[in-house]
Structures are given as structure tokens and as C-alpha cells.
Structure 1
Amino acid sequence: MGSRNLIYILIAVGLGLVAVVLANSYFSGVEERQERAAQQEQLARIVVATQPLDFGSPLTAENVRLQNFPANAVPVGAYFSVEELLQGGQVALRPIVPGEPILADKLSGRAVLSAKLPEGMRAMSIPINANNAVSGFVRPADIVDVLLTRDLDGEKVTEVIMEAVQVLAIGTVQSEAATEPGLAGTATLLVDLYGAQKLTLAQKMGEMSVVLRNVKGEQTEVATNVAVLTRDVSPIRGNYGGGAASAPAPAPVYVSAPPAPSAPAASSGPVVRPRPSGPSMTVVRGTAVTDYSVNRLGGN
């Protein structure tokens, strides 16, 4: 009995080895055929992603592979070897979709926010909450306008201090693929040095808010010097913020109910009430209607 089990085990091991050899030969043949096709059709073999990669995702042999690419259209910074790419423990700095070429400017040795900043730009964080950040629907890569509400001569004023600002992160979440609403206390914005100075000073002056805008919208929809004062909120008091004056509120119009119809006369024909000649005035008391003659000066 024991010898029979040993025979079965040896047979299973042998079949497994045969399967491994066949698989290796198959994949080796696929690689060789792709290399020959690339040489014949003047194609280059570059490294592309096989899985979606978010910010900070490490690159491994499981999520990248070589793929044929037109030799005259290879993007700058592409890798031609998986081994070369995996040296140094590279991580993604920007979202990469399956099939997209892996480029050097999208990678870093470590996932740091500073590596994502364009030349001359800064990352600046401002406090946010549900009231001043669209209930948490502001996400990384969104475009927002920044508003400041402060006291001015005894009343509140709201100003647009920055427009079309890109959001880099919400709290510590930097993934552009994040879609769930959330509030993490701060929003990190992409600004230049002057913008960082404005945001720093604005935090001392009052409360800041961010409002979402269309990503593809115009960069300058409104002038940044437009301000809304407390008195501008009420249309009855008019616009005193420098714009056109609002139209005065119309006087209320009171509509009285029509008089109740009088009881029908006993006679079968219509009753014609004589009206005085010349100027007259009609007075209605309940269901009784009386006509009075008046002269030109208002006397009767």
C-alpha cells in the first residue's frame, strides 16, 4: 500500500515538472515571437502598466510588462527593460492606467508630495470642514475657487481671493481616483509663492471657503476684486457693493374678494338700476349698491 502511494506521488511530481517546462517554453516562445515581430515591423518594446496604479503604488514584476510600441512614437522617459525599471524601488507619483507607458517623470524613489509639484509651484494647506468645503465633495485633482469672509467697517464681506486652484490632497489622501466624499480637516492646494502668501494672510483675516467649479471651465469667469457685503444680501436695501443698484421693491397689491351676488329679484325680467347723469360715485355696503352724483370739485 505504501509503495503504491509513493508511485502516485512520483507520478504527480513528474506531471507537475512537465507542466512547468511546457509553460516556460510557451511563454518564452511568446516573448521570442513578439521580439521578432518588433524587429520586423520596426517596433520598440517599452514597459507599460498591467494594473491601475495610484499615487504611491510600488512597481513590481506583477503590475508591469513589456509591450510593442511604434519606434517613432516612443514617449520621452520610457523604459525598455523591466529590470531597469524595478531598480531602486520605484513608486508611482501620478495615476497610471493599464496599458499606459511607464515614464520616468511619473515615478520616484519614494511617494512624496513635493515630487508632484511643477517647477515654481508650492503646496499650501488650508483648514476645511463640511460648511466651507462642499460637504466633503472636494477631492484631489478638483478645481476650486477660494473665498474669504471677514469683517469690514462693522459688516461682513466675502471676496474671491483666488480662482481655478487645483486641489492636491484632502488631508493625506492624494489619489485622484478617490471619489467618496470625505473631510480630513485640511485641503492642500497647488499655488505659486504669491498665492501661498495670500492664503497664509487670509487665514489670519477671517474664514476661508472653497467652492467647486467646472474643471474644463474658463480660467477667469469673474473678476477677483468683486466683493459681496452684508447689505447686498437683501435685495430691498439695494446693492451698495459697487454694482448696479437694485430696483426698489414693488408696493404690495391687495386684492379684495368680489362682493357676494345679491338675491335674484322676484320679477322675471332683469332689474335695471338707474345711474345718475354726470360724474358719479358708487358705494357698496354689503349687498346694497348706491350711486351718488358728484360735481367737478368733489362735492355731492
Structure 2
Amino acid sequence: MRGRNLLIVGLAVFLGLIAVYLANSYFSGVEERQTRAAEANQLAQIVVATQEFQFGTALATTNLRLANWPANSVPQGAFVSIEEATRGGRVALRPIAIGEPILASKVSGEGGRATLASILPEDLRAVAVPVSAVTGVGGFVRAGDVVDVLLTRQIPGDGSTSTDKMTTVVLENVLVLAIDQIADENQTEPAVGQTATLQTDVVGAQKLALAREVGSLSLILRNVENQDMGGTRTVTSSDLGGAGYYIAARTTTPTTAPAAVAAAPRSSGGTAAPRRASGPTMAIVRGVESTTYEVKRNGGY
């Protein structure tokens, strides 16, 4: 009996030790996970905006502040001090929202100015094309939009006429940098401009320069998420429908103008009165009818 009790006590102690070991392992694992999470979420301080920044807004101590940010997710190009962000008179090159980190890619360099050239990638160019209310989509093309560029011109060839036109897509998925002299992407109200500045490569700029000389250009808006390229074709007048209809040229036959005839005086009854003879006359009576003939001056009838 006593041996059985000792066995039970020993078993209980053994099970207790196992429980303590498992509990210690569990809590140790929790502490380690919490420690790793604390290290991963260690905060850093970066410079953020305290007001809305537009294109050309100068960075100053009055519109910047330091904010805590997870150290493992600090954006590339972020400033860690207000002195560094304002050094050299930096200005905003892109719109910046309140609380958004100030990044080097969105501001000019030291002593920089808000120029269009300062926001161009190194391998791209800016080229201007003329637009109007029609070719500029009624004024809805604004800075920051993405467009395709169409060229409408006459079909080449000796047999083409002024009505033989075709339209081709010159460039696709082109970023609009500015309309007239407005490069602010927050200006979304429709406004009819006269010039659109587009971002493209060197070959694209050459195409646009040539297209301006050979025909008329039009912009068409596209969804910024639509990155599909190609699949376009040339459209001609035959694609507009009405094939088979043809109007032949009209020919006119020249006619001689009739000789002028003096209008005969009319009687009061509305019928033309008999013409009065200008010289001597002779009357011939045949039965009951009398006919008057004018005698020619040389004696002939």
C-alpha cells in the first residue's frame, strides 16, 4: 500500500515537472517573439509635411515637422532632419499631402528651382504639341493624365484627293506633364489650353515634331491603369461606312444665249397688241378676211 502511494506521488511530481517545462518553453517563446517584434517596430524620425504642397512650394521650418515612423519601413530618400530638408532652398516638384514623408524624389536639390526639366527622368524628353477644345478632349486633359496621340493626314499618292484621309496612332500611353504653363497635378478642373507638354523618349519626340508638319494631332484620354500597348491600325474614310455610294461628276453643255427680242406692247386685255408697221403697208382681201402686209423699203415683200 505504501509503495503504491509513493508511486503515485512520484508520477504526480514527474507530470508537474513536465507541465512546468512546457509552460516555461511557451512563455519564453512569447517573450522572444515580443522582443523580435519590438526590435522590428523600432521607431525612427523622418520629416513630413504639415500642409499641402503644390508644385514650386518652398520647404521651410513652418511647413515641416518630425514624425515617428517604423524603422524597418522608412521610405527611400526620406529626410531625417528638418535642417537637411530645408538646406539650400529646396522646393516641391510634386504635390505632397499633409503628413506625407518628404522624399528626395519629390523635391529639388540644394539651390534647385521648380522647373519642368528637374522632374524629367534622365532618358526622357518633354515636347509640346498644339491642342484645342476638340483635340484636347474638351479641356479634360490635365497634367498627370495619360493619353494616346493620333495623327490625321491625307493619304499619299497621285490619285488621292483632299477628302482621302487616314488616322494613325503615333504614340501610346504618354504622360502629360503640363497644359499651357500649368504643371500642377492637383489642377483637375477642365480648361481649354493651346499647348500640351508630353513626356516621351527621343524617338517619340521626333515623331511628334514630324507629325505636326504633315497633319493634325489629337489627344485621346486613357485609363492610367491600362498599360496595354499595340493592337492599333490605320483608319481611313472607308471605315466610316457608306461604302458603295458614289456621286458622278455633273457635266454641263454650253448653250448660246437667245437674241434679245423687244417686248411687244400688250393691250388692256392682257394679249399682245399687233405690231405697228414702221413703213408703207398693203392690204389684201381674200373673201371676208383682210391681211395687211408691210412693204419693204426696196420694194420687196
TM-score range relative to shorter protein: 0.5 to 0.7
Q: CA deviation at 1:83?
A: 1.7
Superposition map of 1:44-55 within 5 A: 44-55=44-55
CA distance in 1, matches of 2:63, 2:117: 25
Paired residues, number: 198
CA deviation vs aligned residue, 1:158-195 (integer Å, no higher than 9, x gap): 11111111101001100111111112310000100000
SS at match of 1:115: helix
TM-score normalized with structure 1 length: 0.63
1:132 equivalent in structure 2: 135
CA distance in 1, matches of 2:234, 2:242: 16
Superposition map of 1:1-300 within 5 A: 42-108=42-108, 109-152=112-155, 153-154=160-161, 155-220=164-229, 222-224=230-232, 226-237=233-244
Q: Does the C-alpha gap of structure 1 residues 98 and 237 become closer, same or farther in structure 2, counting only changes over 3 Å?
A: farther
Aligned AA (2:50): T
CA distance in 1, matches of 2:117, 2:206: 18
Instruction: Report percent identity of matched pairs.
Output: 51
Aligned AA (1:129): S
Indicate conservation of the 8 Å contact 2:153/2:167, yes or no: yes
- Stretches of structure 1 lacking an aligned partner (at least 5 in a row): 1-37, 239-300
Indicate conservation of the 8 Å contact 2:139/2:191, yes or no: yes
CA distance in 1, matches of 2:46, 2:244: 67
CA distance in 1, matches of 2:225, 2:134: 25
Indicate conservation of the 8 Å contact 1:134/1:212, yes or no: yes
Structure 1 residue runs of 4 or more that deviate by more than 3 Å after TM superposition: 235-238
Q: CA deviation at 1:231?
A: 2.4
- Stretches of structure 2 lacking an aligned partner (at least 5 in a row): 1-37, 246-301
Q: CA deviation at 1:202?
A: 0.2
SS at match of 2:46: strand
Q: CA deviation at 1:88?
A: 1.1
Q: CA deviation at 1:237?
A: 3.6
2:5 equivalent in structure 1: none
Q: CA deviation at 1:236?
A: 3.7
TM-score normalized with structure 2 length: 0.63
Aligned AA (2:211): A
Indicate conservation of the 8 Å contact 1:166/1:189, yes or no: yes
CA distance in 1, matches of 2:182, 2:73: 34
2:292 equivalent in structure 1: none
Indicate conservation of the 8 Å contact 1:45/1:67, yes or no: yes
